[in-house]
């Protein structure tokens, strides 16, 4: 299997290298047949070739079995006309990675900040919504008729709503069989009404999954007060982006939250956090988010291909991370430990090795 690796910006190369060490070990132990191919993107690619995302990399991404994307510093990129392409957004659109799947789970021995424990997954629509670079065939979804007036277009389609709902219902069926649709239909009556229409229609095909709805503002409060009541949450792009960051931080840290971007033909592992350029090159970055994202990627490949070894590898990585996080002596500094990136990676590989 051909895995495209894009290390990214800031601390991205460091945490990507850590995640690859773990994956390479799993590959050797289980004979998965993974072949890693690394290409530069982001600021390094911009300096070398005038664009943050060369066309050749897009071609490789289309042909790859899966992609690993390190964090990118897209806020520092120049305009698109000067080569500053948001790599993450471009890959999501080009490869039609319509489902952003972000689990959040509190762990024994590690502080969490909500009133109740949490074990949920937020399934976020990834290609529409208010995000300007994802909702127009040509041009941007934001524009300024005058210097003092800015307008933004929000795109919600029946097909986009239907397929993200199907991804969420399928996931809920394999978990605790409960799905919560989050919306703001009391204000955005037309676009949110279309989203809910499609989710409600699809719920009839999943009678074994308990279905409920929550307003986005009440959901934000309930994640703090009563998160244990939720299993799988499905929502539109911007709401999902915000709520998944909130859930990750409440469950322990944004640095511990895995994330994949999945479509019907491709999947991309991506850390949920940013590139942290302020600690780049200092051996201080916590690689857990990308490590767990890579485990999710293995699990996705395992389900898609029906290969149990891939699922076993994913489970071993997740269990190894849980074991390290349960002991302050094997945590990184940002979550109360003393280990740097290199030492944590060594401990992770040792723990994975014990489980395989």
Question: What is the residue-level pLDDT of the chain in tens, covering all 356 positions?
Answer: 999 999 999 999 999 999 999 999 999 999 999 999 999 999 999 999 999 999 999 999 999 999 999 999 999 999 999 999 999 999 999 999 999 999 999 998 888 999 999 999 999 999 999 887 777 777 788 889 999 999 999 999 999 999 999 999 999 999 999 999 999 999 999 999 999 999 999 999 999 999 999 999 999 999 999 999 999 999 999 999 999 999 999 999 999 999 999 999 999 999 999 999 999 999 999 999 999 999 999 999 999 999 999 999 999 999 999 999 999 999 999 999 999 999 999 999 999 999 99
* DSSP states of 256-281: G---EEE-SS-EEEE-SS---GGGTT
**Of 184, 126, 128, which Cα lies nearest the Cα of 153?**
128
d(CA 159, CA 167): 12
Does residue 259 lie within any of the structural domains?
A: yes
Residue at which a domain ends, from 228, 251, 274: 251
Annotated catalytic residues are: 131, 184, 217, 241, 245
Do 124 and 44 have their domain in common? no
Does residue 166 lie within any of the structural domains?
A: yes
Residue at which a domain ends, from 203, 224, 251: 251
Do 247 and 121 have their domain in common? yes
Structural Rg of the chain based on CA atoms: 20
Q: Residue 21's domain spans which residues?
A: 1-102+254-356
Do 134 and 224 have their domain in common? yes
Phi and psi based region of residue 179 (left: phi greater than 0; alpha: psi -120 to 50; beta: remaining): beta
């Amino acid at each position: 299997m051909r895995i495209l690796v894009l290390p990214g910006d800031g601390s991205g190369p460091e945490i990507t290298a850590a995640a690859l060490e773990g994956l390479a070990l799993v590959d050797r132990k289980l004979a998965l047949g993974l072949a890693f191919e690394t290409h530069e993107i982001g600021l390094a690619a911009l300096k070398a070739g005038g664009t943050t995302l060369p066309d050749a990399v897009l071609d490789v991404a289309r042909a790859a079995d899966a992609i690993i994307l390190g964090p990118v510093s897209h806020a520092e990129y120049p305009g698109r006309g000067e080569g500053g392409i948001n790599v993450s957004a471009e890959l999501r659109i080009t490869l039609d990675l319509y489902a952003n799947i972000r689990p959040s789970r509190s762990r024994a021995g590690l502080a969490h900040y909500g009133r109740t424990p949490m074990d949920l997954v937020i399934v976020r629509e990834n290609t529409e919504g208010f995000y300007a670079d994802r909702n127009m065939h040509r041009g941007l979804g934001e524009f300024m008729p005058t210097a003092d007036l800015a307008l933004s277009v929000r795109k919600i389609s029946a097909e986009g709503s239907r397929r993200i709902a199907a991804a969420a219902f399928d996931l809920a069926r394999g978990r605790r069989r409960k799905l919560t649709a989050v919306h703001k239909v009391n204000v955005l009556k037309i676009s949110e009404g279309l989203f809910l229409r499609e989710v409600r229609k699809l719920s009839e095909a999943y009678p074994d999954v308990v279905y409920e709805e929550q307003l986005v503002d009440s959901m934000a409060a309930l994640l703090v007060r009563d998160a244990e009541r939720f299993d799988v949450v499905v929502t539109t792009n911007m709401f999902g982006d915000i709520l998944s960051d909130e859930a990750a931080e409440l469950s322990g840290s944004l640095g511990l939250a895995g994330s994949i971007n999945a479509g019907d033909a491709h999947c991309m592992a991506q850390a949920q956090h940013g590139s942290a350029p302020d600690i780049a090159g200092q051996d201080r970055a916590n690689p857990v988010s990308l490590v767990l994202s890579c485990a999710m990627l293995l699990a996705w490949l395992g389900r898609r291909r029906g290969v149990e070894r891939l699922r076993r590898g994913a489970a071993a990585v997740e269990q190894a991370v849980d074991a390290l996080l349960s002991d302050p002596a094997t945590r990184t500094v940002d979550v109360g430990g003393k280990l740097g990136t290199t030492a944590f990676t060594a401990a992770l590989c040792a723990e994975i090795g014990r489980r395989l």
